[in-house]
């Protein structure tokens, strides 16, 4: 998914093995992921997408005033999720780390690289195609 604040940015869905970089997009008040090869295009992750960062994750402090040091999260693996969906005008896109920490994407420091490891099962085209293969349906009618 892509947060509401990215509605004026070109987007595309994430793919397995995508190389991503955390980015602050022009014409937007937020940060998110872009493909390394397409820095102006936001890459939208589905809830449940798993990513691996090249290094431990860094993010802005909670207040984001620039007077506090960057927060370092001693984690490199994360799962995408959304938070506070009942409030439409705040950021929802977040990463959940194995230790339970949840960090909004908009708080991630720009320039961090990551790789998409796994998409949620419902996002795999092969799974969807397998579920509706006509030849399987026809065989089941004959028995």
Beta bridge partners of 52: 77, 115
The two three-digit tokens of residue 82, written as one number:
């959304």
pLDDT value at 137 more than 60? no
Helix (H, G, I), strand (E, B) or coil at 125: helix
List phi, psi (to 5°) of 139: -60, -40
pLDDT at 131: 37
Full domain range(s) for residue 87? 4-142
Nearest to 121, CA basis, from 4, 16, 24, 12:
16
Q: What's the pLDDT band for 72 if we cut at 50, 70, 90?
A: confident
Residue 22 scores a pLDDT above 70: yes
* Per-residue model confidence (pLDDT) at position 68: 62
Name the H helices within the chain.
Answer: 125-131, 134-142
- The domain total for the chain is 1
Split at pLDDT 50, 70, 90, the class of 63 is low
Q: Taking phi first (over 0 means left), then psi (-120 to 50 degrees means alpha), and beta for anything else, what does residue 48 get? A: left
Q: What are phi and psi for residue 71, nearest 5 degrees?
A: -85, 130
pTM here? 0.77
7-33 average pLDDT score:
88
């Amino acid at each position: 998914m892509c947060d509401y604040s990215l509605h004026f940015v070109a987007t595309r869905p994430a793919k397995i093995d995508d190389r991503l970089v955390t980015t602050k997009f022009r014409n937007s008040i937020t940060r998110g992921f872009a493909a390394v090869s397409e820095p102006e295009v936001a890459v939208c992750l589905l809830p449940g997408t798993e990513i691996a960062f090249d290094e431990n994750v860094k993010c802005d402090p909670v207040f984001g005033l620039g007077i506090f040091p960057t927060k370092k999260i001693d984690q490199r693996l994360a799962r995408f999720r959304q938070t506070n969906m009942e409030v439409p005008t705040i950021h929802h896109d977040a990463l959940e780390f194995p230790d339970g920490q949840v960090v909004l994407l908009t708080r991630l420091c720009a320039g961090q690289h990551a790789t998409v490891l796994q998409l949620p099962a419902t996002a795999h085209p092969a799974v969807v195609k397998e579920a509706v293969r006509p030849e399987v349906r026809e065989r089941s009618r004959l028995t």
